[in-house]
Amino acid sequence: MLVKLQIPPGVYSNGTDYQSQGRWHDASLVRWRSGIMEPIGGWLELTPNKVTGRPSDVHQYRSGADRKLVVGTHSALWYVAPNGTLTDITPAGYTGGRESRGNQFGYGLGTYGTSAFGISSPDTAAVQPLTNWTIDNFGTFLVASANTDGTLYYWDGSTPTATVMAGAPVNNNASIVSEERFVFALGAGGNDALVQWSDQEDFTVWTPSSTNQAGDFTLQTSGAILCGLRIRGQLLILTTVDAHTASYQGAPYVYGFERVGNGCGVIGPQAATATDSFAAWMGRDGFFMFDGYVKPLPCDVFDRVYSDINMVQAEKVAAWNNTLAGEIWWLYPSADTTECNRYIAWNYRENTWAIGAIDRTCGSDEGVYDNPIMVSSDGTIYSHEIGYNYDGQIPFAESGPVELGNGDAVYMAKHLYPDEKTQGDVSATFKTRFYPNGPESTHGPYSMAAPTSIRFTGRQVSMRIESARNTDWRFGIPRLDVTPGGTR
């Protein structure tokens, strides 16, 4: 008889392997579009020149007829010209920051006998945050700040380096420009709950008076402001514990503030991003979104991600919106490393999830450049969703177990009938078991033919699909020709 291996789109990796039966359980460098599996677009170096320092933010904008691309690292601020030339525009006086978070807790750091053997010390000492830039543009002006430096800078493109924004508060956690063209300092002046903004259309005026619209507001929160996003005519301000909105009202109060969610704090300064209709972010214990209301975002790969992430370096989590694919990506460091080497992608058009491995620390949606931009930990700047080069990595997806029959009889598989857009673009490997925790046998890989001769037996089978060549393949619903045997 013919058994369809009809596996729903997206990765499901919660619970045990057997609980992911009939679903894709593991994957990398693939996505599902209109329910069909395909490889993600590849990448090419935008320039052979590399920025120095750990990249934390990349921003593209237009200044007149010129395309601007700026990358912030812990040690410098870089302008990338359209011809690939790098220019160091680091402001004078910026002394650099930290490429990793520094904690003063862990095994061996407490006094003898204060906790159980083998258990890390409580989080009681000061934390030294890593450096994260927030980069935006005020029309044709660049606006940037780094949390460990706290100074607001601007660059109009005519000076060799960025310049201190005169009159602006210092010791800020982040910054953003509102749609009404106010520059906001978040966590202003060393106060983690203070929001302060300049006069409209004039970021040189920060002292409120009857003749301007500069102002400030202290959020009622126990958290620390980490970032802000523009969404639907509002600013969404995220702290370590809650979410607030800022809405323009005009004089005399200028902006009105409202707490819109609690227990939904963001995990790091770069872990949130916005589309044209909603924002989404990663918290320390789940994902959230805001579309007028804050709500949890159910995640099909929650267990995989939160059992693997390096929480000490969770401030490195970086989110960006990939409009081309209708996906939000989160880049994060796995438990065995200190740098971002994994990604999660949520397809918000079809509500499916994907995971994978990639060395990138920050990303930017398409804009003045036709393709998304991402930067690796070594400072290489890549143009993404272009071609099918993966630097030696192989796109793949592996399913959880699929029951052959009703799971009681042993089946022998004799033929595979593939379903591909172009025959031979992918290969298939099968893994069989006689019961969920039993020994596993591997068969293949098989190059696809119509049909493909195979030989294996089992009660359940999982399937691994890999790119056989770097091209734009599609994988559909293959079928197995199986014969039932005994029930022993």
Question: Which 8-state DSSP code applies to residue 470?
Answer: S
Res. 441 pLDDT band, cuts 50 70 90: very high
Q: Which DSSP helix (H) or strand (E) runs through 338?
A: none
Residue 484 has pLDDT above 60, yes or no: yes
As a whole number, mean pLDDT of residues 123-139 equals 85
Share of the chain above pLDDT 70, in %: 94
Please tell me the number of Cα atoms within 13 Å of 392 on its side-chain side: 1
Which comes out higher in pLDDT, residue 158 or 126? 158
Per-residue model confidence as pLDDT tens digits over 378-407? 999 999 999 999 999 999 999 999 888 776
Mean pLDDT of 414-438: 86
- Exposure string of 348-366, with b = 16+ CB inside 10 Å and e = fewer, is beeebbbbbebbbbbbbbb
Examine the pLDDT at 4 and tell me if it is beyond 90.
no
**Cα distance between residue 133 and residue 54, in whole Å:** 11
Kindly tell me the burial class for residue 376, based on how many C-beta atoms sit within 10 Å of its own C-beta (0-12, 13-18, 19 or more): buried
Residue from 183, 112, 109, 192 nearest 147 by CA: 192
Polymer length in residues for the chain: 488
The three-point CA angle 46-332-263 to 5° equals 130
What confidence tens digit (pLDDT) does each residue in 17-56 have?
878 889 999 999 999 999 999 999 999 999 999 999 999 9
Q: Which helix (H) or strand (E) holds 123?
A: none
Question: Is the pLDDT confidence value at 315 over 50?
Answer: yes
| The pair of three-digit structure tokens given for residue 208, joined into one six-digit string | 């409120």
pLDDT number for residue 407: 62
Task: Read off the pLDDT band of 123 (50, 70, 90).
Answer: low
Q: What is the DSSP string of 353-416?
A: EEEEE---SEEE-SSSSSS-EEE-TTS-EEEESSTT--TT---EEEE--EESTTSSS-EEEEEE
Cis amide bond preceding 129, omega within 30: no
pLDDT for res 306: 97
Residue 315: φ, ψ to 5°:
-60, -15
Q: What pLDDT was estimated at residue 419?
A: 85
Q: How far is 428 from 446, CA to CA, in rounded Å?
A: 5
Within 13 Å of residue 469, how many CA atoms lie on the same side as its CB? 8
List pLDDT tens digits, range 172-218. 999 999 999 999 999 999 999 999 999 999 999 999 999 999 999 99
The answer to whether the beta carbons of residues 434 and 410 sit under 8 Å apart is: yes
Least reliable range by pLDDT among 7-16, 328-337, 343-352, 477-486? 477-486
pLDDT of residue 45: 97
Which of the four pLDDT bands, split at 50, 70 and 90, describes residue 448? Answer: confident
Q: What is the DSSP string of 164-202?
A: E-TT--SS-SEEEE-TTS-EEEETGGG-TTEEEE-BTTB
Mean pLDDT of the chain: 92
More confident residue, 123 or 276: 276
Question: Residue 261: pLDDT above 80?
Answer: yes
For position 102, what pLDDT does the model report?
A: 78
